[in-house]
Chains A and B, each alone.
Chain A
């Protein structure tokens, strides 16, 4: 067996091991995107509230 195939086979545990690592990558990635998205949404919402305040103040 070549070096890479041997590594990927993980001594027969490939079907259990690689899904674990794949799911971990997925959870890490989703957390990254979701944290940034939630901050962006809060910032957009805060901007909107500021606009409302400005309108109220100028009227």
Chain B
């Protein structure tokens, strides 16, 4: 059963059709969650007892940082599937992740710097968390640069997949950097075992934003991946079919 699903999802026409149908089901809820999260985070949550209203940066910083790691993991996993099973759809998904992931990684870094200035007294410190997150941005940029440098799409897929898979070791390093080393960055308050260290009025808007950003990423990914699947396609009949539909 699982293999039937695997092959069906791997078939470009099926993927294209499914992605077209699914995109609004992720995009619109993402918008609603984002609006609710903004109202909760900027309006309803009380100021922090130490950081005052400055803590509200968390509602954009944490979702961006979460996406930076999640998108990379999705990219590396699809690259591995593409490499092992020679599945074009998986390569298309991996290639679509990179620009989205790079932009949210840059956002996480910049919003983190703007938070660090008033709270730590500095924009930047060569701290384990900050340094490993910067390395993640370079991994994304390296992946995109490598793809751009190779004209043949199939070769670009394979070469960049290797880079994506090797780079995935950085993901747990970033996540655990604040626990393993004595970091300036605070320890996780949500993504950990046990109860979150935040009252519900602060936590709920954060969870709404995290969910909203995640759904938005899926909508973006489906849109980009449709284009990438089309670029890899040589079969005229279904290309015609796909283009008529859109």
B243: interface (CB < 8 Å): yes
> Complex Cα distance A7/B213, Å?
24
B74: interface (CB < 8 Å): no
CB pair B224 A38 closer than 8 Å: yes
CB pair B230 A16 closer than 8 Å: no
**Cross-chain contact of B60 among A21, A32, A38, A39 (Cβ < 8 A):** A21
> Complex Cα distance A34/B186, Å?
33
Closest to A45 in B: B231
B143: interface (CB < 8 Å): no
Chain B positions 217 through 246: 1 when the CB is less than 8 Å from some CB of chain A, otherwise 0:
000100110111011010010011011001
Interface of B is mostly: helix
Of listed A7, A13, A19, A45, residue having the most chain B CB within 10 A:
A13
CB pair B227 A20 closer than 8 Å: no
> Complex Cα distance A36/B54, Å?
34
Question: Which candidate, B1-9, B113-121, B128-136, B177-185, is the interface stretch facing chain A?
Answer: B113-121
Interface size bracket, B side: 35 or more
- Inter-chain contacts of B115 with A (CB < 8 A): 16, 20
**Cross-chain contact of B54 among A17, A50, A53 (Cβ < 8 A):** A17
A10-B54 in contact given A16-B117, A45-B231 (Cβ < 8 Å): yes
CB pair B230 A46 closer than 8 Å: yes
Shortest Cβ distance from A55 into chain B, in angstroms?
Answer: 12
Of listed A7, A16, A36, residue having the most chain B CB within 10 A:
A16
- Inter-chain contacts of B233 with A (CB < 8 A): 46
On A, residues with C-beta under 8 Å from B are: 7, 10-13, 16-17, 19-21, 23-24, 27-28, 30-32, 34-36, 38-43, 45-47, 49-50, 53
CB pair A43 B56 closer than 8 Å: no
**Cross-chain contact of B227 among A12, A16, A42, A49 (Cβ < 8 A):** A42
A-B interface pairs (CB < 8 A), number: 98
6 sampled A-B residue pairs with Cβ under 8 A: A13-B52, A17-B56, A20-B61, A40-B227, A42-B228, A53-B236
> Complex Cα distance A42/B246, Å?
12
Closest to A13 in B: B54
> Complex Cα distance A7/B228, Å?
44
B170: interface (CB < 8 Å): no
CB pair A43 B220 closer than 8 Å: no
CB pair B60 A24 closer than 8 Å: yes
CB pair A27 B239 closer than 8 Å: no
- Inter-chain contacts of B10 with A (CB < 8 A): none
- Inter-chain contacts of B224 with A (CB < 8 A): 35, 38-39
A32-B220 in contact given A10-B54, A11-B52, A46-B230 (Cβ < 8 Å): yes
